[in-house]
């Protein structure tokens, strides 16, 4: 298979794309891949580091208010469509896949105009602007939450799940947590607000330090780089044991099998990992995302007792500490949440997408 894939801006668009590529490589070592992104997005570092051919387009999103910049946006989109057609002619893909972000709008639209099979993947419970636009032109649409089905033409929708889930589903405990200064035989809470950290989660955690019952469990607190130095000093002052502070963990999935509870955001990638491995979680959705989709993501698990959700505007040290202590002291409750999370996962997501892609290729 010759796959051209595009997705950019955030890890939520990039990691599912890389997970799908990983599966296709394993199934067919003769497959070829080209990833198209932007020079400014995270993909410009992550994708080349993964050893995948990478090309860039210059594009930007629309401003929500009236702005002359929107004229530039239209110009860049049309220019990117033209350049994308050149890349497509050179690479000659069998199929083109978009995983979200403005850049995939130009790439997938160009492919559809050239009558090449097209597929988009929506990771969240509420569809993004780019995927809504592309839904009118593509052949098939993969979703991870049933709630997203209503945002697309029903005859095109296929429930696939998130490829990231398949990538992490079979990860086993390796003792990696011991390398971080934690005890391998002690129950562990991971508090993690994303790669850049989350100030409200960090503030609530630091305020709650004296309330956590760390004689019974240990905490791995991943702060994000910009918050790390100050928080490290705050934790030192508290003189608490069994708490390890890190700015970021590059190989985060490797420690998840050794984690008994996660406190964090509810982005699509995080939920794919949590459900694939069946990990209990306290989800604190970011309110600063398009259409508040993290709240809808988290609610989809909370409603089936597959996670606990706290809205950020109600977060405080007492609530956080009470929930963490309650779950860490109640193995039965934690186990039930873990089982429900596991049931909500889609461990064969990449395989499902691969079947859809093969069908599209053979039908055109």
The verdict on whether residue 9 carries a ligand-binding annotation is no
Helix, strand, or coil (residue 228): helix
**Could you tell me if 193 and 321 lie in one domain?**
yes
User: pLDDT digits over 244-254, tens only?
Assistant: 999 988 888 89
Q: Are 140 and 119 in contact (CB under 8 A)?
A: yes
The verdict on whether residue 11 carries a ligand-binding annotation is yes
CATH (domain of 32): 3.40.50.2000
Strands (E), the chain: 2-6, 32-37, 54-56, 95-98, 118-122, 140-143, 157-159, 188-192, 218-222, 243-246, 261-264, 281-283, 308-309
Q: How far apart are CA 241 and CA 235, in angstroms?
A: 10
**Could you tell me if 108 and 225 lie in one domain?**
no
Give pTM, 2 decimals: 0.86
Scan for tokens 């190989």, then name that residue. Answer: 251
The predicted pLDDT at position 60 comes to 65
**Could you tell me if 185 and 159 lie in one domain?**
no
The verdict on whether residue 264 carries a ligand-binding annotation is no
Q: What's the domain count of the chain? A: 2
The verdict on whether residue 12 carries a ligand-binding annotation is yes
**Could you tell me if 152 and 206 lie in one domain?**
no
DSSP letters along 69-105, please? HHHHHHHHHHHHHHHHHHHHHHH--SEEEE-SSHHHH
**Could you tell me if 71 and 219 lie in one domain?**
no
Size of the chain, expressed as the number of residues it contains? 364
The predicted pLDDT at position 257 comes to 93
| 229 Rama sector, left if φ>0, alpha if ψ -120 to 50, beta otherwise | alpha
Domain residues for the domain of 44 are 2-168+347-363
Q: Can you state the angle between helices 331-344 and 268-277, rounded to 10 degrees?
A: 110
Q: H or E element: which one contains 158?
A: strand 157-159
Q: How far apart are CA 265 and CA 288, in angstroms?
A: 11
**Could you tell me if 336 and 214 lie in one domain?**
yes
User: pLDDT digits over 189-218, tens only?
Assistant: 999 987 777 899 999 999 999 899 988 999
- pLDDT lower than 50: segments of the chain: none
**Could you tell me if 212 and 149 lie in one domain?**
no
**Could you tell me if 122 and 227 lie in one domain?**
no
The predicted pLDDT at position 77 comes to 84
The predicted pLDDT at position 194 comes to 79
**Could you tell me if 182 and 144 lie in one domain?**
no
Tell how strand 2-6 and strand 32-37 pair up: parallel
The verdict on whether residue 267 carries a ligand-binding annotation is no
**Could you tell me if 131 and 198 lie in one domain?**
no
Q: Are 349 and 322 in contact (CB under 8 A)?
A: no
Scan for tokens 């809808």, then name that residue. Answer: 296
Phi, psi (5° rounding) for residue 278?
70, 60
The verdict on whether residue 294 carries a ligand-binding annotation is yes
Q: How far apart are CA 115 and CA 117, in angstroms?
A: 6
The verdict on whether residue 10 carries a ligand-binding annotation is yes
Sign of the four-CA dihedral 325, 328, 329, 332: positive
The predicted pLDDT at position 138 comes to 98
**Could you tell me if 142 and 249 lie in one domain?**
no
């Amino acid at each position: 298979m010759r796959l051209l894939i595009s997705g950019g801006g955030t890890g939520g668009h990039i990691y599912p794309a890389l997970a799908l590529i990983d599966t296709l490589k394993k199934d067919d070592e003769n497959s070829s891949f080209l990833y198209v992104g932007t020079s400014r997005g995270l993909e410009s570092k992550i994708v080349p580091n993964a050893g995948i051919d990478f090309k860039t387009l210059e594009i930007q999103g629309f401003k929500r208010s009236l702005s002359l910049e929107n004229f530039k946006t239209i110009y860049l989109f049309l220019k990117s469509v033209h350049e994308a057609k050149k890349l497509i002619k050179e690479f000659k893909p069998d199929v083109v896949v978009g995983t979200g972000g403005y850049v995939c709008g130009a790439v997938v639209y160009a492919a559809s105009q050239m009558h090449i099979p097209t597929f988009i993947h929506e990771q969240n419970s509420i569809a993004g602007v780019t995927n809504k636009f592309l839904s009118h032109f593509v052949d098939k649409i993969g979703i991870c939450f049933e709630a997203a089905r209503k945002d697309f033409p029903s005859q095109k929708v296929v429930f696939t799940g998130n490829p990231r889930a398949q990538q992490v589903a079979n990860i086993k405990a390796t003792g990696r947590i011991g390398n971080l200064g934690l005890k391998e035989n002690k129950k562990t809470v991971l508090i993690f607000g994303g790669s850049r950290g989350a100030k409200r989660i960090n503030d609530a955690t630091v305020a709650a330090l004296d309330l956590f019952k760390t004689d019974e469990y240990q905490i791995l607190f991943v702060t994000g780089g910009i918050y790390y130095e100050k928080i490290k000093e705050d934790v030192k002052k508290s003189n608490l044991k069994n708490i390890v502070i890190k700015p970021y963990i590059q190989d985060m999935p490797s420690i998840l099998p050794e984690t008994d509870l996660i406190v964090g955001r509810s982005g699509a990638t995080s939920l794919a990992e949590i459900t694939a491995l069946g990990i209990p979680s306290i989800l604190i959705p970011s309110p600063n995302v398009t259409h508040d989709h993290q709240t809808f993501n988290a609610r989809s698990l909370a409603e089936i007792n597959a996670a606990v959700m706290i809205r950020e505007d109600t977060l405080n040290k007492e609530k956080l500490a009470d929930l963490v202590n309650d779950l860490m002291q109640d193995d039965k409750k934690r186990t039930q949440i873990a089982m429900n999370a596991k049931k909500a996962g889609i461990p064969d997501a990449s395989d499902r997408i691969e079947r859809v892609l093969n069908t599209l290729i053979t039908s055109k």
